[in-house]
């Protein structure tokens, strides 16, 4: 392949682009090697899905009473409003009850 027909600016531009591709490739391979050597999940799992019977009722209400129109929790709903994952750890029960009232 001949590059003589390219202008200097084009050579620099494509050169930078090629370098970025090479860098992305190397980064990807390095990350995959690093990840394959970890013996724990790469990201801490902060959301728990093990519902009590009472929690299952709450989850059902959350999905059927229109809360998911604006909120998201446990992979249900939209990103429009406040994400409610972990809300029970950030707020007290009294706060939530009076807020919802
Ligand atoms: C029309 C959109 C909409 C719907 C429907 C909706 N919410 Fe909200 N919700 C919001 C918005 C916006 C806020 C943030 C308001 C604020 O902080 O003052 C909020 C805040 C909250 C908060 C407080 C979060 C905090 O940290 O203070 C809780 C809890 C909550 N919503 C629960 C629910 C539940 C349960 C339902 C279903 C019964 C519901 N929401 C339905 C829009 C909505």
- Calpha distance 80→68 (Å, rounded): 9
Q: Quick one: tokens of 8?
A: 């200097």
Residue 28: half-sphere exposure toward Cβ, Cα within 13 Å: 6
Cα of 45 vs centre of ligand 1, distance in Å, is 24
> Under a CB-based contact definition with an 8 Å cutoff, are residues 78 and 70 in contact?
yes
Whose CA is closest to atom 40 on ligand 1?
67
pLDDT band at 1 (very low <50, low <70, confident <90, very high): low
pLDDT band at 95 (very low <50, low <70, confident <90, very high): very high
> Under a CB-based contact definition with an 8 Å cutoff, are residues 47 and 55 in contact?
no
Ligand 1 binding pocket, CB closer than 6 Å: 62, 65-67, 69-71, 81-82, 84, 87, 91, 96, 99-100
In tens, the pLDDT along 33-90 reads 998 898 888 787 766 677 889 988 988 998 899 899 999 887 778 878 788 888 888 9
CA angle 35, 36, 38 (to 5 degrees): 65
Q: Quick one: tokens of 22?
A: 């090479």
- pLDDT higher for 10 or 46? 10
Cα of 65 vs centre of ligand 1, distance in Å, is 12
- Calpha distance 46→1 (Å, rounded): 52
Q: Looking at residue 64, what is its pLDDT?
A: 93
């Amino acid at each position: 392949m001949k590059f003589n027909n390219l202008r200097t600016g084009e050579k620099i531009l494509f050169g930078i682009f090629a370098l970025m591709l090479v860098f992305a490739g190397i980064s990807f391979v390095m990350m995959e090697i690093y990840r394959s050597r970890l013996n724990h999940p790469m990201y801490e799992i902060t959301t728990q899905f093990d519902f009590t019977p009472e929690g299952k009722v709450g989850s059902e209400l959350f999905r059927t009473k229109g809360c998911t129109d604006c909120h998201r929790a446990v992979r249900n709903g939209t990103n429009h409003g406040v994400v409610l994952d972990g809300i029970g750890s950030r707020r007290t029960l009294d706060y939530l009850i009076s807020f919802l009232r």
